[in-house]
Chain A
Amino acid sequence: MSFLVLDNLQKSFGAVQVVKDFNMSIDKGEFVSFLGPSGCGKTTVLRMIAGFETPSGGTISINGKDQNRLKTNQRNIGMVFQAYALFPNMNVFDNVAFGLKVAGTPKAEIQARVKEMLALIRLEHLADRYPYQMSGGQQQRVALARALAPKPQLLLLDEPLSALDAKIRISLREEIRQIQRQLGITTVFVTHDQEEALSISDRIVVMNAGRADQIGTPSEIYNRPATRFVASFVGTLNMIDATVEDPAARTVRIGDQVIALREMPGSHKAGDPILLALRPEAGSLSSTGDSRLQGEVISSSFLGSVVRTKIAVGANAVSFDTFNAPDLTMPTPGEKVTLNFSSQDLLVVRD
């Protein structure tokens, strides 16, 4: 059963439409990420769910209840902000207790709940500290505890990791995911970092210019990107411009080579341009798979665990990764090589 439903959501600031026809259903306990570059409208959707912005059109409902007419402070939502936004005049305990205090919770209950929350984020020993005395990672964990303390029905995370160091970012994102699973709380997470989104989410919404380009599990998004935008935004992907050779035989022409696709969308006629995508890790120099492309090596770079080689196939540059091994000889520029891959890894992508 869908818990959070965004139906035909729209938002315009003056003449600029930043969110267009956004539809989405999120199940109870699900962890969903909104992924996209800055300005794609992901934060605006989140702020509409929180009630900071009023939708120009469409509805938001949580647990079957329409939220449009509720004020922010009536929605029972927890939110974590990018810049922590802890109250600087309160120590950790009072920050976490804030939501309970304004709700008029009895003192003893507040005590117990705050303790429980601080235990959850493993910061019981810092209850008396003020925000300015703590590191960014600690502050953000307190912000998470503060958001969770009043037992919200929904947790919103607005780029909560962006302001942190790389190392803490990874450990905190694991911690957030673990706490989310433990509490089973429905969570919407906004980020521009694809690795973050892929590693933490049940489902990902890739947003582009106010629209959801693709909604799917991390593996669907990564392995079967639906559009050029998704393909280029998520991971490194070779984009290959080709023309349809024979729709019936599902063959396409790349430069002067012709290969067969696993499947081809019905609408294509012979001579039509078609956009293909291939992950670097799908290709190999050893003869595996059912498809091959010849090319000339442009460059080869050593990246540690893998060697990334770029070859020219017709007008396209195609990169592929080979695992490093002590006896590996790196391809030299100018060398002619054959790239082998499975035809099911060659995807057709919408523009």
Chain B
Amino acid sequence: MNQASPAPRLRLSLTWLGLMPFAVFVLLFLLLPTMHIVIGAFQTRDGSFTLQNILDLNSGTIPSSYWVSIKISATSAALGCLIGFGMASAVVFGAVPRWIRSPLMTFSGVASNFAGVPLAFAFLATFGPVGLVTLFLRQNFGIVLQRDLGFNILSFWGLTVTYLFFQIPLMILIITPALEGLRREWREAAQVLGATTLQYWRMVALPILFPSLLGTFALLFANAFGAVATAIALTGSSLNIVPIQLFAQIRGDVLGNPNLGYAMAFGMIVVTAIANIVYIWLRIRAERWLK
């Protein structure tokens, strides 16, 4: 016993050594920087503990920027879920030919990764003051987007509509497997027990999908909440949302207090973390059912 113990310990530490490059990298470029922000959020300039930064988040334009950010993220996530769900179910339940599935999934895989500056320009070129759709509507129907429909690409709805470009494909990517996980026997069992299609959806399919739907919503929410580049390229600084405000703060300390910047960043982590925890938790529940 006494003689045997050093050897396993040595082997164990050698095993751990194989993980070192990864551990060091993650520590230096992911965990420590994040911890620095989180700790900074609870510190004064001279390094003592305080809750003042967190309390100060409730001052000036910060609460409204959080509110606008959350509204945009929630709206684009909800619409993305709705439209993505419709498209995915059209393919899965055979309303459109089956061969569409593969190209649609490929396309969604590509488009869901597409956020950033070029996306902003694509929407400017389409719905901007001299964009393709704007001109088309004005020339053919006499409709002026901004005047008649109150739509401005540099606004809340403009940003939401732009975010949908990657939100819808992300929804399709995630919800398609869930829809395909609905077993044919469940529908047949419901039918044979006398249920109508509506009853089947209300009592069986939607309750089964509910965790997936809500979970995907949470993921889409976090996805939109952290998007910086699209927002900045599209609206410059005209729309007051958290990522834009934080960007300005990092660039030039516009809040006049670096630790308040930490607190803002910490707030972003909290919001996306909550959304992701909800996603993971619901995902686990959903998978337990669909085993």
Which residues does A use to contact B, with CB under 8 Å? 50-52, 71-79, 81, 83, 85-89, 98-99, 101-103, 132, 143, 146-147, 150, 156
Contacts and interface: CB of A to CB of B under 8 A. Distances in A.
Interface string B178-204: 000001011011111111100100011
B185 A77 contact: no
B188 A98 contact: no
Interface residues of B, number: 21
B289 interface: yes
B291 interface: yes
B290 interface: yes
Contact of B288 (A51, A75, A132): A132
Nearest to B188: A52
A132 B289 contact: yes
Interface string B193-224: 11110010001100110000000000000000
A99 B290 CA distance: 22
B188 A83 contact: no
B195 A73 contact: yes
Interface of B: 183, 185-186, 188-196, 199, 203-204, 207-208, 288-291
Given A74-B194, A83-B185, A87-B208, 19 more contacts: A50-B188, A73-B191, A73-B193, A73-B194, A78-B192, A78-B193, A81-B188, A85-B188, A86-B189, A87-B189, A87-B204, A88-B208, A89-B207, A98-B190, A98-B193, A98-B195, A102-B199, A103-B194, A147-B193
Nearest to A82: B185
A87 B199 contact: no
B189 A85 contact: yes
A23 B266 CA distance: 74
A72 B185 contact: no
7 tightest A-B CB contacts, nearest first: A85-B185, A99-B193, A72-B191, A89-B207, A88-B289, A102-B195, A79-B192
B192 A72 contact: yes
A73 B188 contact: no
9 contacts: A52-B188, A74-B194, A76-B194, A83-B185, A85-B183, A85-B185, A89-B207, A102-B193, A102-B196
Contacts of B192: 50-51, 72-73, 75, 77-79, 147, 156
Nearest to B185: A85
Contacts of B183: 83, 85
Contacts of B195: 73, 98-99, 102
Contacts of A76: 194
A78 B193 CA distance: 7
- The listed residue with most B CB atoms (<10 A of its CB), out of A52, A73, A103, is A73
Given A102-B193, A150-B194, A72 B188 contact: yes
A132 B291 contact: yes
Nearest to B197: A73
A309 to B, nearest CB: 47
Contacts of B199: 102
B196 to A, nearest CB: 6
A156 B188 CA distance: 13
A85 B188 CA distance: 9
Contacts of A71: 191
A318 to B, nearest CB: 45
A157 B194 CA distance: 17
B186 A85 contact: yes
Contacts of A150: 193-194
Nearest to B210: A89
Contacts of A75: 192
Contacts of A88: 208, 289-290
Contacts of A74: 194
A150 B195 CA distance: 12
A147 B189 CA distance: 9
A45 to B, nearest CB: 15
Contacts of B203: 87, 98, 101-102
A90 to B, nearest CB: 8
A54 to B, nearest CB: 14
A270 to B, nearest CB: 57
A146 B81 CA distance: 34
- The listed residue with most B CB atoms (<10 A of its CB), out of A78, A81, A103, is A81
B188 A146 contact: no
